[in-house]
Amino acid sequence: ISTLLFLLMRLSGDPAAMLAGPQATPEQIEGFRTQLGLDRPLIVQYWYFITDIARLDFGFSYQYQRPVMEAVMERFPASLQLTFSAVALALVIAIPVGIFAAVRRGRLSGSAVLTGTLLGQSVPNFVLGILLILVFAVTLGWLPSFGRDGLASLILPTLTLSAFMMARQTRLVRAYMVEELSKDYVRAAQANGIPLRRIRFKHALRNVMVPVVGLAGIDVGQMFGGAVITEVIFAWPGMGRLLVDAVLTRDYPLVQAAVFVIAVLVVVVNFVIDLLYRVIDPTLGSQRE
């Protein structure tokens, strides 16, 4: 990942020319290149790049003229708050709605849920975000449309970001719950007089949660890295906007630090997901060992 990132950033253009401005002379541009260390051979730049990463030293931002990790960590909490709020909302709604759709399979209400999930997966984030702003911020005036100022400002971006995951998780829960409810142990439990509601939520749901948690882990990484559009629409001060600005200005150190933080988050989330697997179903841990 680090090598690919290094090469892609070097192929994207010369940041010295952008920093110097359109009216800069070749001498001024060359001065910026020397100041940024871009006049060194590519292999030397790569060596410094790798050694700096090993020391967690990403240098100074070309654009902000400050340590890049300060700029990244300043935006990191906002992105983390938005991402995990969206994941939590998606799961809180998707799990019971998915169970309901499985129980009502073949009926109008169950079909309505499936239709809603198709719509949720089809509508692009930017379209949904604009619609929510028009309805709840412009027309009704109930919620703010931009910024990060209290819980009210979190509602619309959270709804926008969670919509796709909510729809996908609902379909996943429904599919696995239908499969679980058709298994022999469910019929045996019913024959022994155990209430069907208890079977669904105590036994079947535990088996369903394994794929749900696995998909949620993937969603966290995708949402954290892909929240750019949502952050731009709602002027949310997160890492997505910071990363876009850094790419546009060819701010190499800032891009490298932001991607590094996102990669670390994905690794940590995958580790937590692995622990949750063992909590949900301890037999998974023994099987892997």
Averaged pLDDT, 41-46: 81
- Supply the CATH number for residue 180's domain: 1.10.3720.10
Is residue 280 in some structural domain?
Answer: no
Quick one: pLDDT band at residue 151, thresholds 50, 70, 90?
confident
Residues 22 and 164 in one domain: no
- Check whether residue 155 and residue 44 sit in a common domain: no
Domain check: are 149 and 42 in the same one? no
Mean pLDDT of the chain: 82
Beta bridge partner(s), residue 60: 67
Model pLDDT, residue 288: 47
Domain extent, residue 209, equals: 73-251
Select the more confidently predicted residue: 9 or 185.
185
Residues in the chain: 289
Is 192 contained in some domain? yes
Do 45 and 106 belong to one domain?
Answer: no
What is the CB neighbour count within 10 angstroms for residue 266?
A: 17
C-beta atoms surrounding 65 within 10 Å: 7
Does residue 141 share a domain with residue 85? yes
Same domain, 180 and 141: yes
* Tokens found for residue 95: 């799990």
Give per-residue pLDDT as tens, 251-265. 778 888 888 888 888
Radius of gyration for the alpha carbons in the chain, expressed in angstroms and rounded? 24
Report the C-alpha gap between 274 and 283 in whole angstroms. 13
Q: Assess if residue 145 is contained within a domain.
A: yes
- Alpha-carbon distance of 186 to 196, in angstroms, equals 8
Three-state secondary structure along 210-276? HHHHHHHHHHHHHHHHCCHHHHHHCCCCCHHHHHHHHHHCCCHHHHHHHHHHHHHHHHHHHHHHHHH
CB 239 within 8 A of CB 148: no
In angstroms, the CA 84 to CA 87 distance is: 5
d(CA 210, CA 136): 36
pLDDT at 200 > cutoff 90: no
The count of domains in the chain is 2
Examine the domain organization and report whether 125 and 34 are in the same domain: no
Q: What is the pLDDT of residues 225-247, one digit of tens each?
A: 668 888 888 888 888 888 888 87
Q: Read off the pLDDT of each residue in 160-167 and give the average, rounded to a whole number.
A: 92
d(CA 96, CA 173): 9
Asked if the structure places residue 103 within a domain, the reply is: yes
pLDDT of residue 282: 66
Q: What is the pLDDT of residues 50-96, one digit of tens each?
A: 887 777 777 788 778 888 888 888 888 998 899 989 999 999 999 99
Q: Are residues 232 and 143 in the same domain?
A: yes
Same domain flag for 128 and 207:
yes
Does residue 154 have a pLDDT over 70?
Answer: yes
Q: Where are the alpha helices (DSSP H) in the chain?
A: 2-11, 15-20, 26-36, 42-54, 68-103, 108-122, 125-132, 152-181, 184-191, 196-198, 205-225, 228-233, 239-248, 252-280, 282-288
Q: Is residue 60 part of a domain?
A: no
Give the model's pLDDT for residue 28: 75
* Whether 78 and 215 share a structural domain: yes
Q: Are residues 163 and 48 in the same domain?
A: no
When pLDDT is averaged across residues 127-146 and rounded to a whole number, the result is 90
Boundary (domain end) residue, out of 236, 251, 266: 251
**Confidence bin at 132 (pLDDT 50/70/90):** very high
Both 148 and 211 in a single domain?
yes
Residue 62 lies in a domain: no
Report if residue 263 sits inside a domain.
Answer: no
- Of 185 and 77, the structure prediction assigns the larger pLDDT to 77
Of 19-23, 97-101, 120-124, 253-257, the one with minimum mean pLDDT is 19-23
* 86, part of any domain: yes
For residues 173-184, average pLDDT: 87
